Structure 1
Amino acid sequence: MQISTSKKLAYSFNQVGLSVLWQAFSAVAVFYYVTVLGVSGTAISSGMIIYGILNALFNLLAGYMSDRTKSRWGRRIPYILFGSLPFGLVFYFLFTPPLASKEMLLLYFFALTFIFDLAYTFIGLNTGALFPEMYPTKKDRYDVSAYLQMLSIIGMIIGIALSKTLGQTVGWGVMAAIFAVIAIVTLYISLYGSFENPAHRTEPLHFIAATRYTLKNKLFNAYVVANLLIQLVTTMFVTLTAFYTKYVVALSGTLNSAFLGAVFIVAIPMSFVWARSGIRLSTVRVEIISSVLYALIALGFLVAHSAVAVIIIGALLGIPVSGFMLSLHVLLSDVIDYDAVQTGRRREGMYYGVNGFIIRIGMSLQYAIMGIFFATSGFNESSEVQTASAIYGFRFLIGGLPLIILLIALVFLFRYEAANRKMSVEPGRRGSVSL
């Protein structure tokens, strides 16, 4: 079926709404509660470890529910239709907390973060599950993936580069209101280009069987570990930049926006370059090259001492970040296609759910790392000037640790490549799975 460019672009707008709020949350939520409201950074980091594990389970539930949903609007679309408004509203209330003690603010933060992340999970999972269903050909997947990444980057520019600046200039509540409106409007625009393929509405597996067959997929196992480690690196980058540009290499609001904007301004045209490269090479090769580039470029944060150096590093990081964003979508779609051949079932929801479960475990790992840092580095949230150990710690977390993490990710990417090559030579037979 031929799908118009306008429909492809409309569907891709879901990335603006999701990216604006999620990236703004990742960039400044902890920063706002720690440095503006005075909540303990160690307490937030410790709580987020437990929260991340509990929330990870909801990804499994969301994926399972998505595959089994039956409604007049389909399986995936109802979650976008009815979840977008609450998603934006909760983000707004997260940045307009009541006057309360620091203990109550901590509870308020976790309560609203839980609801916000739950809405993000159901919306993001279902917009993602539509992708392999709507676009079965490799060309369409790369074309639409480029649109998705272009619009995701625009959302990131707004969410990451402008959230801190707007919060500090016009007020955190005004910033949150603007971002919430953007997210709600763009998510509803995405529904214009969204549809479901009736041929994919096969009888779903029960939960245990669905989970078992998902975890038996060798391609998925290699993909999901590599994805976990790559997401850990990029999420930590987003969270740490606010601290790095405040305490390590101090940047004004304008320069901070220029630094983060440089990452994504470079990434936009690179999305189309990577898309063409992925067709000529392979998707996993794009991921491997991007991982090596990111690890090498990020080392610059260890030694940067000027605003110009930080901005240049940010611009160069736009190259591998774009490669990550483009190829991860296509890789997971390939994994799902392989599973459909083996099981005779389309289980996009379950795969995105298990993938989200693993990523949320990674979120707990991120906050465990940051919690250890806050507790041991001598960081003082009430001080404008940090100790040398805290500054060196920030440099290592954003510049040195990514090298270690991405070296491990490369091991699993090469495993994926080897397994994919073997399956291409010895294709699996379509199997039957009992319910």
Structure 2
Amino acid sequence: MSRKYFGTDGVRGTANQYPMTADMALKLGAAVGRYFRNDGDNQHRVVIGKDTRLSGYMFESALTAGLTSTGMNVLLLGPIPTPAVGMLTKSMRADLGVMISASHNPAIDNGIKFFGPDGFKLSDEAELEIESMVLEGVEPVQPQNIGRAKRVDDGRFRYIERVKNSLPKGLPFKGLKVVVDCANGAAHKAAPEALWELGAEVISIGVNPNGLNINENCGSTHTQTAAEAVVAHGADVGISLDGDADRVMVIDEKGNVADGDQLMALLACRWAEAGKLSGGALVATVMSNLGLERHLESKGLHLERTAVGDRYVVERMRKGGFNLGGEQSGHIVMTDYATTGDGLMAGLQFLAAMVESGKTASELSKTFETVPQLLKNVRYGAGQLPLDESSVKSVIADAEGRLTGKGRLLIRKSGTEPLIRVMAECEDETLLTEVVDGIVAEVAAVAG
């Protein structure tokens, strides 16, 4: 059975358009509340965090109404990073955690992510069951059993302490000049505060959210802003987060950007040398560069690949007993410290590597040589299925034949946006461009 509302990272879409409406949020709140409060006890609680989108107020209120209607007590955390919600769900003994965010998407979008009582994102099976409850409807509790809601003010500070405690004790960041780009998002207070408390000289950008400027020309999907700031201020390093701070890109002192693959390679090798890498493997998705796989093999390490989505990475990590994984896009998951991708925590690990090794950011951020990779996206309309068209299938088959023995091709629908993602890797860059552009052109023609 396919999922109707949930994508690779919760429910997501344009705010005030199906399925991201207040009515749907109310129904989702009631369904997930009933899913976790099934014994009639009134001690159940849920924590709700959000990023800085204007629509967050609407969804926060709707979810609260749905959850309290099933007897859940709601603790409202306000703007806070996604990994903080995962952490606080478990540490505050909540039955459920909810994050209202569309991550790296523009401000007009929003999304809802759920965490179980262990702080990890819900399984496909749980999401399917919640969807069926949304469709069937949920019986509200008796008036005397309606839940309560209240604001919680110390969530951010609890999270900052947890992030700081992921570092070796007594590691000084004094003398490091760090640019941190918070994407006008959920970490606009937590990230600068954590870095300053650790002793760094902090230059903060993307810390003036107005509800409409999250991820706008800033953050991990627009690293030029942070790169320019690093060079202009003569900073040692830049940390560029996305809207909900579960992703990070690192910028060296010259303004060059290191993606999640490079950061994972650095951490995997350092952890392996220190005897800290569980299972001798790194878990990453099919999108990670072939160069990463080759580099790990040269070090006697293994790359475990999963479907795209950080929760699939986490599922594989938990099943195999691995403690490091992530995505090329900058989700870095360290299950010794967190239950989901944590951009700030990963950025601090990079700073720790700089301090411990005495090397510059540019010396550490280029761990391996990448195989030429090209990724292009094609937007399609509602109800369209461009990958099912015979002409598109024919072009893809031809491309696969041309790449046989020379590279690899990956084509998939985005789980968070109406996009077809076309990615290929090949040492022959001319062939690489021809293959990707050919597929993109045909998909675009079909999609109109």
Is this a same-fold pair by TM over 0.5? no
Task: Report which of the two structures shows the higher radius of gyration computed on alpha carbons.
Answer: 2
The TM-score with structure 2 as length reference comes to: 0.28
**Larger strand proportion of the pair:** 2
Q: Looking at both structures, which has the greater relative contact order when contacts are Cα pairs under 8 Å and sequence separation is at least 6?
A: 1
